[in-house]
Structure 1
């Protein structure tokens, strides 16, 4: 029984340490998806904007910013590398394939490390856009 308790203690410690190190983005990089929670039309491309700041709230340039959107339980990936438009400000024009709830992941590469921010979402409204139903990658159009 004692060996089991030691094993469980060790296992729980490993899980806590592993969970903390992978789920918390570094405090020195703060990402704001300016379209978070908005309703976007499927009728046309939309310009999405991400703002990146350091821990002191100052605009921060990073090596790259990549945006990936998809509908929950679907396969309509819309993605691409964002363009820097100003210090700490990145944009991309992307379409949406159909109405519904979409999740948005923003991957930021800073100091050689890629961090994925996953807590963003948008809602799409409008008719299905059949040409985007199998996805769209702005980097490979």
Structure 2
């Protein structure tokens, strides 16, 4: 019985290792931009959870969509843009779609964190609110096109 448990544990550890290695490879490796986005994703999850506790809707559909569907989809989008960057027909443009995707996601996560903190009662200097409002407006215009 002990051998079965050890083999199962070893199999799970190897699976996690190889899945992680494949994921890191698919998103183009771990660099400063991905680290920033990863930390902002975690902070957004925490602030979103705290906001949901305050608003008494922890088990809502929005929480499910935000944490279970939207967060992994961010990284799938980055993996897609990285694969497009590697495609031969994209070599003639001088911009990385991966970096553009990561930058857009960093802005979106930052805005979401600020909105969550505002709903938790945190006040920000007006210059920060103005900058975020301009960035959000610019992103919303790009979405509607």
Q: TM-score normalised by the shorter chain: which range applies?
A: 0.3 to 0.5
Structure 1 length-normalised TM: 0.33
Q: Which has the higher contact order (CA 8 A, sep 6+)?
A: 2
Name the one with the larger helix percent.
2
